[in-house]
Amino acid sequence: MDHTVTVYSAPTCSWCQIAKEHLTTSGISFEDVDVSTDQQRAREMVEKSGQMGVPVIDIDGEIIVGFDRARIDSLLEIH
């Protein structure tokens, strides 16, 4: 099944890198949004999550704040 995945991240965020590496090694394609350079997308992230911190991961409209491997794997059906 194809999923729509967006990772709101910043270059200095180690958890963002871990989340993106996990998605990549699991074969999941995603849009990487650098909220440190894109203020419009940063506002979008805050509207979706209510959070200023990254990573925020949007999987098919489900919002995950931080790197929650179990929830990511569950939503993406990664075993």
Residue 57 maps to which CATH number?
3.40.30.10
Residues 54 and 2: beta-carbon distance below 8 Å: no
Residues 9 and 33: beta-carbon distance below 8 Å: yes
Q: What number is the average pLDDT over the span 3-15?
A: 97
Angle between helices 69-76 and 14-25 (to 10 degrees): 30
User: What's the burial of 23, exposed, middle or buried (CB within 10 Å: 0-12/13-18/19+)?
Assistant: buried
User: Is the predicted pLDDT of residue 68 greater than 90, yes or no?
Assistant: yes
CA 15 to chain CA centroid, Å, is: 10
pLDDT at position 15, please?
A: 98
Q: How many domains does the chain have?
A: 1
Query: Which residues span the domain enclosing 72?
Result: 5-76
Q: What number is the average pLDDT over the span 2-9?
A: 96
Instruction: Work out the pLDDT band at 2, boundaries 50, 70, 90.
Output: confident
Instruction: Work out the pLDDT band at 50, boundaries 50, 70, 90.
Output: very high
Residue corresponding to tokens 């871990």: 18
